Amino acid sequence: MKHIFVTGGVVSSLGKGLTAASIGTLLERRGLKVTLQKFDPYLNVDPGTMSPFQHGEVYVLDDGAETDLDLGHYERFTSTKLTRFNNLTSGQVYQRVLDKERRGDYLGKTVQVIPHVTDEIQNRIREIGEKSDADVVITEIGGTIGDIEGLPFVEAIREFALNAGQGNVLFLHVTFIPYIKAAGELKTKPTQQGVAKLREIGITPDVLVCRCEKPLNKELRQKLSLFCNVQYEAVIEEIDVEHSIYEVPLMLQREGLDDLICRKLALDTPPADMSEWREIIRKLIAPRHRVRIGVVGKYVELQDAYKSVYEAVIHGGVANDCGVEIERVEAEDIEKNGAAKVLKGYGGILVPGGFGERGTEGKILAAQYARENNVPYFGLCLGMQIATIEFARNVLNLEGAHSVEFDADTPHPVIALLDEQQNVTDKGGTMRLGSQPCKLTPDSLAAKLYGSEEIHERHRHRYEFNNAYREQFESAGLVFSGQSPDGGLVEIVEVPDHSFYLASQFHPEFKSKPNEPHPLFQGFIAAAHACDHNKNV
């Protein structure tokens, strides 16, 4: 088994996760089995308890693990199946070490970062290899070299390499080469210093992936090679992509990165066949159609809060040969200025998942506007709860209808706490999480789009449609087209005789890939394009 360790230097947000995922894409297309994992230096056990301001999206896996959004990149760029073992945080490592200490596993010893914490991390690297039976394990170390929190992970991979044997481990360092406008030059000094920090710990990178706005010339490559002690051919340029993140694997292939990795790790494979991937890029760059989608949320200033939603919308576009312009709409803006004004001109409206009261009234107004004006509406998790609250208030005339999450004393709790949540007090990892089966109503829009009547989708919620109101909704025309197999939980609602009005309690966005666009997103974009309200404004 071969290991690639991906570290980052100079600054964060370099797209290390994308680089790791893209290497996965290339190696898979060379016929290798890969798996990817992320090490996160923070002390939270998982990111489930962090706000999008702190962390961006929480990505949910089939097994219910709440993980870093980089795992979303890994799943979208490869066919690897990830589990909770693919995301390790310092919090988990320390929890394990402390449990062992209490059990007496270290009896008589002083428990220390080296070797006890680093051993625990190394165990994890070995375990993931055994569990996945991959040819190559790609491990991304979160944060930036030099961070105090990240040190045990970097030390652990150094120790791991020591025992793994020559040719089995490759260190790949993603770094930043800033362009100084006034000097008209790319600068290598921060990278030299970053690599020096890595070498201080005892790691010399085998490959340097250089994130830059402008191309690296020969001279710069030579300089980086010399000062960073990396072979000239192992200085790889990763220039900002023009259109889409899905171009990254192709760019790295042009730079010869996958060839280089295979040579260094003695992996004998044919070149990567990227024809399918190229076709996706063509549709992304030069689509036949275009549509504008408004995503109504409350973290709209953040790039990463709804990462998987944006990606899935783009995949839905690829399936329809349709370029999607995604506009992030602030829900509170709708509260201030009215839905008609703010949402005018969008081909479709999407309300994603969320927690907390802020912006809910704006989202309810968005759902009402979409329903009443035949504009395609797609609700995800909270977006489904919003759709039912809106329907209750404006179609059933249930004044003050709400979710008990936002109004504990509402006279009409159409969204209520799940039964299984009644006695839950801990916040971490206690929602209804992960993949759950769902039965679809024959001939419903959902069943048509999926082309199946039994599906599995990922969940992350505490609240749920209140069955006491089911008949009232049904007699007013709302269709419950997806339910848990025992019929106890509503999973999908639809408004029939509408261009597209569908909302799910689950998160379909977590299962969409550029080469396997999710059927609901496909259907939503197709409807948005067909409606093309842009023409009417």
Least distance CB 384 / ligand GLN (angstroms): 8
Interaction of residue 407 with ligand GLN, rule CB under 6 A? no
> Quick check: 491 binds ligand GLN (CB under 6 A)?
no
Return d(Cα 473, Cα 398) in angstroms, integer.
Answer: 11
Ordered DSSP codes for 470-524: HHHHHHTT-EEEEE-TTS-SEEEEE-SSSS-EEEESS-GGGG-BTTB--HHHHHH
353 contacts ligand GLN (rule: CB under 6 A): yes
Minimum CB distance to ligand GLN smaller for 175 or for 436: 436
Q: Is 461 in the site for ligand GLN (CB under 6 A)?
A: yes
210, 228, 262, 381: which one is catalytic? 381
> Which CB sits closer to ligand GLN, 171 or 463?
463
Residue 477: count of CB within 10 angstroms of its CB? 12
507 a catalytic residue: yes
Q: Based on CB atoms, which residue is closest to ligand GLN, 135 or 464?
A: 464
- In the chain, % helix, strand, coil (3-state, to 5) comes to 40, 20, 35
Q: Which is nearer to ligand GLN, 353 or 514 (CB)?
A: 353
Question: Does 405 contact ligand GLN by CB under 6 A?
Answer: yes
Residue of 507, 518, 529, 533 with catalytic role: 507
Query: What is the rounded distance in angstroms from the CA atom of residue 278 to the CA atom of residue 101?
Result: 52
Report yes or no: 225 and 235 within 8 Å, Cβ to Cβ: yes
Binding-site size, ligand GLN (CB under 6 A): 10
- The residue within the footprint of ligand GLN, chosen from 113, 321, 355, 361 (CB under 6 A), is 355
Residue 412 CB, nearest approach to ligand GLN (Å): 17
381 is catalytic: yes
Catalytic-role residue among 237, 509, 531, 533: 509
- Asked if 460 is part of the footprint of ligand GLN (rule: CB under 6 A), the reply reads yes
Segment contacting ligand GLN by CB under 6 A, of 222-230, 246-254, 394-402, 459-467: 459-467
User: Per CB under 6 A, which region of 187-195, 201-209, 261-269, 353-361 contacts ligand GLN?
Assistant: 353-361
Q: What is the CA radius of gyration of the chain?
A: 25
Q: Cβ of residue 490: shortest distance to ligand GLN, in angstroms?
A: 12
* Residue carrying structure tokens 């990178």: 205
Tell me which long-range contacts 235-242 makes (C-beta under 8 A, separation of at least 24): 235/208, 235/210, 236/207, 236/208, 236/209, 236/210, 236/260, 237/210, 237/212, 238/15, 238/19, 238/174, 238/209, 238/210, 238/211, 238/212, 239/211, 239/212, 239/213, 239/214, 239/215, 240/211, 240/212, 240/213
By C-beta, is 379 or 523 nearer to ligand GLN?
379
In whole angstroms, what is the distance from residue 405 CA to residue 413 CA?
A: 9
Whichever of 30 and 458 has its CB closer to ligand GLN, that residue is: 458
Judged by CB, which is closer to ligand GLN: 319, or 370?
370
Q: Does 71 bind ligand GLN (CB under 6 A)?
A: no
262 is catalytic: no
Please name every residue paired with 330 in a beta bridge, in sequence order, or none if there are none: 297
388 φ, ψ (degrees, to nearest 5): -75, -35
Select the residue interacting with ligand GLN from 265, 381, 396, 416 (CB under 6 A): 381
**CB neighbour list of residue 162: distance below 8 Å, 6 or more residues apart:** none
Q: Which of 33, 197, 462, 470 binds ligand GLN (CB under 6 A)?
A: 462
Name the site residues for ligand GLN (rule: CB under 6 A).
353-355, 381-382, 405, 460-463
Catalytic residues: 381, 507, 509
